Every structure is written in structure tokens, then in C-alpha cells.
Amino acid sequence: MQIKILSVSELNNYIKRTIDNDFILNNIRVQGEISNLKYHSSGHIYFSLKDEGSKINCIMFRSNAEAFNILLKDGRKVEVKGRVSVYHRDGSYQIYCNSISDIGLGELYEKFNLLKEKLSKKGFFDIEAKKSLPLYPFKIGVVTSPTGAAVKDIINVITRRNPSIELLIYPALVQGDGSVASLIKGIKVLDSRDDIDIIIIARGGGSIEELWSFNSEELAEAIYNANKPIVSGVGHETDFTICDFVADIRAATPSQAAEISAVSLESLIDSISMDKEKITSLALRRIEDENYNLILLERLLENFNPMNIIIHKYEEIALLKDTLNKNINMAITNNFEQIKALIQLLEAHNPLNVLKKGYSIIFQKDKLINSVAAFKFNESTEIIFKDGKVEGLIVPTEEERK
């Protein structure tokens, strides 16, 4: 018997009818852990149910979600009721959920929280342990998959922001067996190089199990013990891993990790230009201020110039000289008047002036003879007249001898 050749649409529709007619698949109850949860703007809820070995996609339409009061979160363990059907366009099957019951926290999230609490107590997340990023890195090392979208985003962002920064990509496994050891080795290799300024550890988004390698205690220790600052750009904005908490800086995405690590050359040039203008303005203002201060000092120096003091002293000396001359002249005049008065007084009492009236003065032995009794004959006698003097002996007459 020849089997009919089917188109893809016919095959998918056949599989869909087969599954839709299965009683068990139309009344299914499944337990698992939620991951990749998304509340769509249409009101539908999209997520995956997983266990340790497998996962299946699920959807709850808005008509059922509106009556559902539990707020779902990644990592929660739930039980869903519904049916399994095929989305014939993509050929994928999924669970169409009618109701969801919350069971508790998923196993992976329990492990995540336990490790987070353990490392937090050891100080792995302390702010004091975080290293600052260099402002102007010259070379950035990246630990990531060489074929993923993350490395392309990092290269594009850094090339756009600052093409002068060198990139060194360490190709590492970011998922599955051997990925933890690969990531640790990448960090240690880049950390040992003297030319690396910053290390980025990055991976694109995914479910908690796909990001589980970044929740390794060994990887956390390697990041914590690294000497170079490490930026974590793992997953999407809503994804959090142990790597994010222990890294020096957590970026929401690989692209943001690149933006944080690489300063924009354009903004750097603008900043330098602004600093140049600011420095120029400050320098000109300083020059103006110093010039003004110099003028004040020159005026002050001029006021205290020794020549000015000497000139003022010359003026003071001239004033003192004039005062002294006036005082001297006044003293001379006063003394002259006093002398004149004394001369007049002396003249008035000068006995020689009497001689002008016909009188004379007699001295014997330098003794003024002012009486007859004092006069002696035959002794040297000096007679002073108004116009001179005569000396001689005066002898008594005969009558006077008698």
C-alpha cells in the first residue's frame, strides 16, 4: 500500500487531531517548576513547566487568567490542569491551562536561595569587597560563548562607543557539562594578564536551568578572588544569578555590561572639551583676579614707596626749618629788643654818661675815690674825663700842708 505524501500543514493538522482526540491528553494534570514566565499585554500567560529532565511550554488564555488570583513567579512549583494540543503553525505542542495550583518553591530556586544565603554570610556580596572600574580602560576581557548573541552585542556596543578599546574574547562554555570549569578558567586566564583592565562575564537570556552554571559556588569564589574588576552581564533584566551578586557590578544585559565597561569616546571628547572650556574660563578669571590684585599691590606699594616717605619728610623738614627760622628770628628779635632795652637801661645808669656833663672820675690804686677823706696826695691818681684820662701825682698846696 502506498502511503499518501502529506504537506507540512496536513501533517501538523493530523497530529493535532490525534492529540485532541486523546482522552488523557485532554484532561491532563502536570506538576513542575515554572520558568520563562511572561505576562503578555494581551492578558495571556506564557511559561514553561520543567523538572530535572524535561520541560514543556504552557499557555493560559486571558479568559482563564482573569479568574486566576495567584501571582506566578519563576521557580515556583505548581500543578496545572488542562489539555495538550498542537500549535499547527509551528508544529509545537503545549499545555493549554485551565487552572493552576501553587505547590511551593522549585528545587532549583531552593538551591539558589540556600547558596545565596551561604555566600552572603561569607561576605561575598559586601559592598566593601566590590572593586571600582577604571574610568578609562584600554583593554577589556570577555568570558562568554564565541558564537552567541551576547558576544556580538558586546563587540557592537564597545566598537560603537569607543573603538580605541581592545577586546580579548575568551571562548567559554556557558551552559551544560564543563561550563562551570570553562567559565572559571576564563576568569583566571584573563585575571592573570597585566594588560586586562576589566573582565566581563556574559551570557544571553534563558531559563533558570539554562543559566544554572552562573549559580555555581566555585564560579562565585573565582569571581570574588579575582584581582581585576568583573562586570556580570548574564541573562535579561529580570534574570538574577549568584554571579550577578558576587560581581563588582551587575549589568541587566550583556549590552549594558559593555556600556558600563567602555566609556563613550564621544562623551569623553565632549567632557574633555567642557573641562577645557571650564579650565580656560577659570584660568582667565584667575588672571583677571591676580591682575586686579597686582594693581592693588602696586597702589599699595606706591603709597608706601620710600621716595614718597622721603618727599613727605622733606616737606616736614621744610616746615620744621621754616618753623625753626621763625622761632630763631623771633627769639633773636625778642633778645635784640631785650638787649636794646638793657643797653638803654645800662646807658641810663652808665656813670660815664655823667662825664659828658663836665664831671670826672678819680681812681687811686684802681679804687674809686668818691670822698675827700678817701683821697690821698702824692699817690698815683687816674682822672677819667668824657674824652679820655690823665694820670699823675697830686701834691697838696701849702695851705693844705698846714
List residues bridging with 38 in a β-sheet: 46
H/E run at residue 39: strand 28-39
What grid cell was written down for 55? 520541560
Residues 99 and 201 in one domain: no
Q: What predicted TM-score, i.e. pTM, was given to this entire model?
A: 0.53
Which residue from 177, 184, 247 is spatially nearest to 218, judged by alpha carbons? 184
Specify the number of domains making up the chain. 3
Residue 299 lies in a domain: no
Each residue's pLDDT tens digit in the chain (402 positions)? 567 788 898 888 888 899 988 888 999 999 988 888 898 888 899 999 988 788 999 999 988 888 776 778 887 888 999 999 998 888 899 999 998 887 766 677 778 888 889 999 999 999 998 999 998 899 999 999 998 889 999 999 999 999 999 999 999 999 888 999 999 999 999 999 999 999 999 998 877 778 889 999 999 999 999 999 999 999 887 778 899 999 999 998 999 999 999 888 888 888 888 989 999 999 999 999 999 999 888 888 777 777 777 777 778 888 888 888 888 888 888 888 888 888 888 777 776 777 777 778 888 888 888 888 888 888 888 888 878 888 888 888 877 776
| Domain assignment of residue 210, yes or no | yes
Residue 129 lies in a domain: no
93 and 176 share one domain: no
Both 118 and 170 in one domain: the answer is yes
In whole angstroms, give the CA distance from residue 291 to residue 38: 69
Q: Are residues 259 and 116 in the same domain?
A: yes
- Does residue 96 sit in the same domain as residue 116? no
Task: Give residue 98's domain range.
Answer: 8-105
Residue 109: how many CB atoms within 10 A of its CB? Answer: 19
Q: Are residues 230 and 256 in the same domain?
A: yes
Closest to 145 (Cα-Cα) out of 119, 113, 125, 171:
171
